[in-house]
């Protein structure tokens, strides 16, 4: 379970701007430290790799990298907008965290600024013959990085924005919080189903702004409560939407200072995120499958692919631990197996009820989940199956189709 500070660092690391800035700083630092290597450069190299040897190469890099960066940004935006319209707008935010795209673009930007700055330094007579040799060596390294980035970019463009790429990326992002349910049920706090209810006269902790609860800093929150000798009941779990003044937690002591400190451990944003929200990834994938079944798209193959990916995600959910909770001063609601099944399959069950192939794969998925190692998941799948079958009977009229689903008679 990570802290709020680490979460913010991870978010920054997934930002295109952060990677571009880091690459730019590295490029600029290399330009400015070049004169420090003057004593290490032998005279023969100074004569061979001087100002006239490196300036033309830097000029070519500066002009070409600007064009390549502009073109690549245009391709990226177009691909992401296309993915947003074909899949779901929620997928766009996940695609913006694509590490390969960010690294390639950051390399192009860094190479452009490196060459541009080096040209300016040469024109200002900042570099002597020895520094020119160092810049030439750095330019060779930059060219190698550019070649590698272009090769990665060419391979990545073949799938960028495709449905397979979108679904694979969402699946990879949705998997960690689902697997964390086994290690950290109720975010590592005491599950509300096994805890006593809050006592009378509790202090209400309210949301400072409107938005979705994105993240709760459980280690920091537990530390604050330990110092104050207090207990907390979380009422707004990650994924919940709150408006300013809504209850997000209940505190067993009447202390405004502690209540404000508790509220600071809740990260509330305008959009829903997946750091701790185990249900959101399933919802996004279900939205993609639902759009694939719309008359304008009519792509049941994508919906079936989503069912298989949802099955893989849910089958990976292991039995939550019954060990002592890590944060014993906090009580939090847990995510149930029934909630996960509803998020993954209910919208498909309703909108795909008239399609034999969709209902067949839904039945198969629930049948496999009924043998899950997580007893609650197995029970929920068995209880969910009659709903799928009732929907099929209500929307499929042909006897042969119902027999295909094993619902004849």
DSSP 244-302: TT-EEEEESS--HHHHHHHHTTEEEESS--SSS-TTHHHHHHHHHHHHHTSTTT--HHH
pLDDT in tens, 45-58: 655 666 777 888 88
Identify the DSSP state of 220. H
CA 319 – CA 363 distance, rounded (Å):
23
Residue 222 above 80 pLDDT? yes
* Residue whose entry in the numeric block shows the structure tokens 């893989």: 312
Weakest mean pLDDT among 96-100, 305-309, 345-349: 96-100
Confidence of residue 216 (pLDDT cuts 50, 70, 90): very high
- Residue 214: its H or E element: strand 211-216
How high is the pLDDT of residue 113?
A: 84
Is residue 232 within a helix (H) or strand (E), and if so which, with residue range? strand 232-234
Range of lowest pLDDT (9-13, 195-199, 356-360): 9-13
CB 143 within 8 Å of CB 136: no
Is 359 in contact with 405 (CB distance < 8 Å)? yes
What would the pLDDT profile of 118-173 be if each residue is shown by its tens digit? 888 888 777 777 777 778 888 888 899 899 999 988 888 878 778 888 888 889 88
For residue 50, the model assigns a pLDDT of 62
Contact (CB, 8 A) for 162 and 70: no
Confidence band of 78 (pLDDT split at 50, 70, 90): confident
pLDDT in the model for residue 41: 63
Number of residues in the chain:
409
pLDDT of residue 274: 86
Cβ neighbours of 400 (radius 10 Å)? 9
Task: In whole angstroms, give the CA distance from residue 256 to residue 233.
Answer: 16
In sequence order, which residues have a C-beta less than 8 Å from that of residue 142 and are 6 or more positions away? 27, 61, 110, 111, 114, 115
Asked if 121 and 75 touch (Cβ cutoff 8 Å), the reply is no
Tokens of 6: 């680490």
Q: What percent of the chain has pLDDT over 70?
A: 92
For residues 86 and 158, give the distance between their C-alpha atoms in angstroms, rounded to a whole number: 17
With 0.85 as the threshold, say if the pTM is over it.
no
pLDDT-based confidence at 38, cuts 50/70/90? Answer: low
Type and span of the H or E element at 213: strand 211-216
- Cα four-point dihedral sign 71, 77, 81, 84: positive
């Amino acid at each position: 379970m990570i802290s709020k500070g680490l979460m913010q660092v991870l978010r920054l690391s997934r930002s295109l701007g952060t990677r571009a800035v880091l690459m730019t700083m590295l490029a600029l630092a290399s330009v400015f430290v070049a004169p420090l290597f003057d004593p290490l450069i032998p005279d023969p190299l100074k004569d061979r790799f001087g100002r006239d040897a490196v300036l033309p190469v830097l000029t070519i890099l500066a002009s070409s990298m600007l064009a390549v960066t502009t073109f690549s940004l245009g391709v990226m935006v177009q691909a992401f907008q296309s993915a947003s319209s074909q899949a779901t707008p929620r997928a766009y935010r996940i695609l913006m965290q694509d590490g390969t795209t960010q690294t390639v673009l950051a390399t192009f930007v860094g190479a452009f600024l490196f060459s541009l700055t080096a040209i300016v330094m040469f024109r200002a007579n900042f570099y002597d013959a020895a520094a020119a040799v160092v810049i030439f060596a750095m330019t060779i390294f930059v060219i190698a990085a550019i070649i590698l980035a272009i090769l990665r970019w060419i391979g990545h463009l073949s799938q960028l924005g495709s449905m397979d790429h979108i679904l694979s990326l969402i699946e990879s992002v949705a998997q960690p919080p689902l697997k964390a349910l086994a290690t950290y049920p109720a975010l590592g706090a005491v599950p509300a189903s096994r805890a006593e209810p809050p006592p009378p006269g509790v202090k209400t902790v309210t949301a400072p702004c409107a938005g979705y609860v994105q993240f709760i800093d459980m280690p920091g929150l537990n530390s604050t409560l330990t110092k104050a000798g207090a207990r907390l009941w979380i009422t707004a779990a990650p994924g919940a939407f709150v408006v300013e003044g809504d209850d997000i937690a209940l505190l067993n002591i009447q202390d405004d200072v502690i209540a404000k400190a508790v509220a600071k451990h809740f990260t509330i944003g305008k959009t829903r995120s997946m750091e701790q929200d185990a249900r959101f990834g399933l919802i996004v994938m279900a939205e993609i499958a639902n759009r694939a079944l719309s008359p304008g798209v009519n792509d049941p193959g994508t919906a079936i692919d989503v069912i298989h990916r949802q099955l893989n995600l849910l089958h990976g959910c292991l039995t939550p631990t019954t060990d002592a909770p890590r944060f014993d001063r906090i009580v939090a609601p847990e995510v149930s197996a029934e909630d996960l099944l509803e998020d993954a399959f209910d919208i498909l069950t309703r909108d795909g009820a008239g399609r034999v192939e969709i209902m067949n794969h839904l039945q198969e998925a629930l049948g496999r989940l009924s043998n899950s190692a997580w007893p609650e998941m197995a029970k929920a799948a068995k209880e969910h199956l009659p709903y799928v079958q009732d929907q099929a009977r209500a929307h499929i009229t042909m006897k042969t189709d119902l027999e295909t689903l094993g619902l004849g008679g």
